[in-house]
A and B are shown apart, each in its own frame.
Chain A
Amino acid sequence: MVFPVARRIGRSALVVLLVTMAVVALLSLAPGSVASVILGENATPESVAALNARLGLDQPLWSQYLDWLARAVRGDLGSSPLTGQSVSAAIAERLPVTLQLAVMALVMALIVSVLLAVVSAVRPGSPADRGINAVSSVFLSVPAFIAGPLLVYFLALQLGWFPVMGWSPIGEGVGANLRSALLPATAIALTEIASFHRLLRTDLIGTLGEDFVGAARAKGMSRSYVMFRHALRPSSFSLITLAGINLGRLIGGTVIVESLFSLPGLGQLLASSITARDVIMVQGVVAFIAVLYVGVNTLVDLSYRLIDPRIRKAASV
């Protein structure tokens, strides 16, 4: 048990390392530097060079990266030369928003898609199944930046149920917080619902054809009992994988929705830092997101042990 887990963590660390290296390399290809952003349009080449030297940006790329890495492994991600705010503080400030969005969207998507998949799988090809499939195709092909404005137009502007944009922190009241989070979370969830529904529907139909489902029916158990207590769990392995991968993706990937609804999340921080060539901030945020992403995926892999007893016996994960 210990050895495979240790090997896993080692592999994950390598992934994070490669991601940060790639980010530094990519940003160095982009023209401009944070010094010219700080000094504005009227900066002379001499003053830009001087500021670059002061920030250590005149050093070769590999030495900059190694310096950053040496501090990062000790937990010091540095501070933004632009705002002076430390990268860790900036992340801590933005993370709750992104995390809440991602988790809310995922929970909403899971609840809705499980119910829809059950309805679909009970009678594949029935009018209900075909209707759900049609709607889910629509959801799957409508990106969040289309769904978002549509939701805002109908539910916020026309009906006035939700604020059009902006964020109420949870400290200012749970109701207001949920109201501000619901529309963006829904915009993210729609696509997820569609893909979750398709996956679980297929797996459920497969499981319902298994002998043990027939055996449970032959025991005199009701249809709903068999569905929820016998069929759902063995059908949900791929769904859990997908949901885990998507949670990791959403933590770094709600950029568009955060911009649309102007929410102060990680995605927005990343987007603005890239525009400002704030390499230190981008590096820190990307490294943080990579760690989270890899961590979530490792947890998902380990969770198979909980849901499928057959894996607990297997030699390594």
Chain B
Amino acid sequence: MSAHPVLQVRDLRVHIRTPRGVVRAVDDVSLDVGHAQAVGVVGESGSGKSVMARAVMGLLPPRSGSSGQVLFRGRDLLSLSRKEKTEVWGKRIAMVFQDPGRSLNPVVRIERQVTEGMRRLLGLNRAEARDRALRLLREVGVPDPERRLRSYPHELSGGMRQRVMIAIALACEPELLIADEPTTALDVTVQRQILDLLRRVQRERGMSLILISHDLAVVAGRTDRVAVMYAGRLAESGSTREVFDAPRHRYTQALLETTPTLDHERHTPLRLIPGSLPDPTSPPRGCRFAARCAYAEAACDDLGPRPAAVGPDHHVACANPAHAPAAAEPPTPRTTRAVGGDSLGG
């Protein structure tokens, strides 16, 4: 979409040593995030989406290794020196974590948690940082910000805490914001507010956003492009509209078909994808989804399909992809939960 991608993930592999063996959490993933673009990353638990985000943030667990490139504005984050890293993380790339109850320090007042980053990275003095913190808290919709600065995290509700986390992430005006399941730990009613807030600040600032979620509906209306991950690999990527309107990968298709709808007939079982994720320590040689795929062929077990272009901005890694929309029934994502769907625009 954009001529100058902010972030280019190239052939990223991350492996984590565990007692049960080496887990290849991210296996050969490439992904672009354009300027001022919102990219959704969707996948089940264990698909590697969070590990990929942590690799971008330099927050990989101690017993892990990575290869490939994470190019941010053309510089490879994986090979930066420690000093160069501090120039990027926090200042130019920021992150919002899954559970705001756990990502705020319980014994440190909100004021220091919001201001410490900008004081260190932007060199603001105490008063300037405080003013800026108040502005940010107002912007993200925290009422009575003066009082909130003096609060401890446990005195705030979950939604308020996530707003504070977003304010912290925005503190240094980052060019890229990574939101890793930012609403999973929140009440359903609050989820939508937080997602809309993220989309709003992203657009207002012309910032790039990576929105990670296991929930298709979360990503559907709020992103420009989407990447679907399965068992550490990228299954399909493309413009959000195209991927949801005309999914080509059999996994994406199955995932969309399992989304429960309001007009689901009562007392009939919900549709599921049979089976479960492959053993992460010894994934199958070919397509990782083959064992659960209704359309698997012999070829699927032999070669790991490489992502191939099926449209101007649409790549699929499937040996036997679904037909183009004309032939297949296009399963459109329908608004199924209060969390929203396509109707919110995108």
Interfacial residues, chain A to chain B (CB-CB below 8 A): 123, 210-212, 214-222, 225, 229-230, 233-234, 307-310, 313
Contact = CB atoms under 8 A, between A and B. Distances in A.
A217 B116 CA distance: 11
B107 A218 contact: no
Interface residues of B, number: 32
Interface in B259-309: none
B121 interface: yes
A108 to B, nearest CB: 26
Chain A binding surface SS class: helix
Contacts of A214: 54, 59, 97, 103
A224 to B, nearest CB: 12
Given A220-B86, A313-B154, A212 B120 contact: no
Contact of B102 (A212, A219, A313): A212
Contacts of B117: 219-221
B105 A219 contact: no
A221 B114 CA distance: 12
Nearest to B86: A220
Given A218-B95, A219-B116, A222-B86, 16 more contacts: A211-B97, A214-B54, A214-B59, A215-B168, A217-B58, A217-B89, A218-B57, A218-B59, A218-B90, A219-B89, A220-B90, A220-B121, A229-B116, A230-B105, A230-B108, A309-B106
B223 to A, nearest CB: 21
B97 to A, nearest CB: 5
Which of A210, A212, A214, A216 has the most chain B CB atoms inside 10 A of its CB? A212
Contact of B106 (A212, A218, A225): A212
Contacts of A216: 105, 116
A94 to B, nearest CB: 39
Interface string B22-64: 0000000000000000000000000000000010011100100
B94 interface: yes
Contact of B107 (A123, A215, A222, A233): A233
A46 B108 CA distance: 72
Nearest to A217: B59
B104 A212 contact: yes
B27 to A, nearest CB: 23
A123 B61 CA distance: 12
Nearest to A214: B59
Contact of B103 (A212, A220, A307, A308): A212
Which of B95, B104, B107, B172 has the most chain A CB atoms inside 10 A of its CB? B107
A36 B117 CA distance: 75
Nearest to A216: B105
A12 to B, nearest CB: 27
A308 B154 CA distance: 11
